[in-house]
């Protein structure tokens, strides 16, 4: 039977069974309820309902294949569906199920992290990128990877990272992991997927790694320490302590520093390979504040080429305990030692420049093997100029 030969609606089962396929799929309206009979060119037949969704958009809803769903059954289903729609219920379609599944997948933390890592592929070298991915996949993804990232609470993140610190003792790695996760959430915020970053400020409350030779005060205690240093009776020693804060070198590097290593016009300190931990010469950009301190220190210069010569010899530097003793006299015994200034600066730089991990590492003289020159691109010298100035300005800002 051709569809043009249909004489009665709703259609009888005889009509439905005898409708012939055409060169393309077609629909026949069965009734004013929005029920349609679909005949495909392959010969298969089915039922569809045309209905208006809550947003006012017309859509199609499949009721099943014919003859499994007879005409009588299809019309009854339409009645049931109409009642649900009138009660404000939404129809669950295969398309909507698939769409919701895709939305749920895209909201998983592993997807968010992957998207953020993609933004770093062209900014990080292969070694740094691979290390970050392995660390994230080892520690974070097994716990939070399948979770909707908007549902993970700040407390869950805090308990997780504190657990890594206390159970595994990986304080430095946790610093990096929190940075990765925090930046992934920042990425989501700027994609308008969230308005609040659950990791904001988390590093202030995690455990501090105060073990070994790394004693340091919190950043909010640094202004009081600087004021105390500036009141120290030996001005050259006070300058030395403030240079440890501004430039955060390893203490041995400052003790063995010589005047010929400094070019104040170019605002750079070239630390020679023989005093460096990696055995690689390292250029340190000098902030404006550091240059002023060094110029003031120069007024105390002796015949020695050393910035801080010992009392006994012009060719020997002060002892490795001299700076520490000065801090002890200021009342910071067991609270702050010279090496601890590196940790304070490292924490703040990583917070401020969490998207420039390699530059921060270079600023701390954590150079990769193979960096040949002090001005090599691998040492990120140009970027470190701004970073060092920011740190000195920040110190001035918190001191007031």
Q: Could you tell me which residue, 245 or 172, shows the higher pLDDT?
A: 245
What whole-number distance in Å separates Cα of residue 361 and Cα of residue 251? 17
Q: Is the pLDDT of residue 378 over 60?
A: no
Answer whether 0.75 is exceeded by the pTM. no
Whether 101 is in a domain gets the answer: no
Question: Confidence band (pLDDT; 50, 70, 90) for 240?
Answer: very high
Q: Where are the alpha helices (DSSP H) in the chain?
A: 13-18, 71-86, 94-106, 109-118, 126-139, 141-144, 154-168, 171-190, 222-230, 235-247, 251-255, 288-298, 322-329, 340-352, 357-363, 381-399
Q: Three-state SS for 330?
A: coil
* Pair (293, 190) in one structural domain: no
In the prediction, which pLDDT does 366 show? Answer: 73
* Pair (82, 122) in one structural domain: no
Mean pLDDT of 172-187: 92
Instruction: Check which CATH number belongs to the domain holding 65 and give it.
Output: 3.30.160.390
Whether 375 is in a domain gets the answer: yes
* Pair (292, 366) in one structural domain: yes
What domain range is 123 assigned to? 106-204
In the prediction, which pLDDT does 376 show? Answer: 59
Q: Is the pLDDT of residue 159 over 90?
A: yes
* Pair (75, 112) in one structural domain: no
pLDDT tens digits, one per residue of 322-361: 999 999 999 999 899 999 999 899 989 988 887 888 888 8
Whether 274 is in a domain gets the answer: yes
Whether 265 is in a domain gets the answer: yes
For the chain, helix, strand, coil in percent to 5 are 50, 10, 40
Domain tally, the chain: 3
Q: Is the pLDDT of residue 282 over 90?
A: no
Question: Confidence band (pLDDT; 50, 70, 90) for 56?
Answer: confident
Q: Name the domain boundary from 146, 169, 204.
A: 204
In the prediction, which pLDDT does 208 show? Answer: 77
In the prediction, which pLDDT does 52 show? Answer: 86
* Pair (242, 356) in one structural domain: yes
Question: Confidence band (pLDDT; 50, 70, 90) for 69?
Answer: very high
Instruction: Check which CATH number belongs to the domain holding 196 and give it.
Output: 1.10.150.130
Whether 179 is in a domain gets the answer: yes
Whether 277 is in a domain gets the answer: yes
Q: Are 392 and 288 in contact (CB under 8 A)?
A: yes
Share of the chain above pLDDT 70, in %: 93
């Amino acid at each position: 039977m051709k569809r043009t030969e249909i004489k009665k609606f709703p259609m009888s089962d005889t009509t439905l069974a005898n409708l012939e396929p055409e060169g393309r799929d077609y629909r026949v309206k069965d009734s004013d309820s929005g029920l349609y009979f679909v005949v495909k060119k392959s010969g298969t037949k089915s039922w569809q309902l045309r209905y208006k969704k809550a947003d006012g958009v017309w859509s199609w809803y499949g009721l099943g294949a014919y003859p499994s769903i007879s005409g009588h059954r299809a019309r009854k289903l339409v009645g049931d569906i109409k009642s649900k729609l009138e009660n404000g219920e939404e129809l669950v379609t295969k398309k909507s199920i698939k769409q919701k599944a895709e939305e749920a997948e895209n909201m998983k933390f592993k997807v968010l992290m992957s998207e953020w890592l993609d933004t770093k592929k062209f900014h990080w070298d292969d070694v740094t990128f691979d290390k970050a991915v392995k660390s994230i996949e080892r520690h974070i993804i097994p716990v939070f990877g399948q979770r909707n990232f908007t549902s993970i609470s700040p407390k869950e993140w805090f308990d997780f990272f504190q657990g890594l610190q206390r159970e595994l003792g990986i304080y430095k790695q946790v610093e990096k992991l929190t940075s990765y996760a925090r930046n992934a959430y920042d990425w989501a915020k700027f994609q308008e997927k969230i308005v609040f970053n659950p990791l904001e400020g988390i590093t202030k409350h995690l455990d501090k790694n105060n073990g070994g030779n790394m004693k340091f005060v919190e950043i909010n205690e640094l202004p009081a320490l600087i004021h105390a240093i500036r009141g120290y009776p030996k001005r050259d020693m006070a300058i030395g302590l403030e240079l440890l804060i501004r430039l955060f070198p390893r203490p041995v590097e400052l003790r063995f520093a010589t005047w010929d290593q400094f070019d104040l016009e170019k605002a750079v300190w070239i630390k020679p390979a023989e005093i460096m931990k990696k055995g690689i010469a390292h250029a340190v950009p000098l902030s404006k504040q550091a240059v002023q301190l060094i110029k003031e220190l120069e007024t105390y210069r002796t015949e020695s080429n050393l910035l801080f010569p010992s009392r006994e010899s012009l060719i020997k530097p002060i002892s490795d305990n001299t700076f520490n003793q000065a801090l002890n006299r200021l009342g910071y015994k067991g609270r702050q030692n010279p090496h601890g200034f590196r940790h304070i600066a490292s924490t703040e730089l990583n917070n401020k420049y969490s998207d420039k991990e390699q530059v921060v590492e270079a600023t701390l003289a954590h150079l990769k093997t193979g960096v040949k020159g002090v001005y090599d691109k691998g040492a990120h010298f140009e970027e470190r100029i701004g970073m060092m100035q920011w740190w000195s300005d920040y110190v001035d800002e918190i001191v007031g």
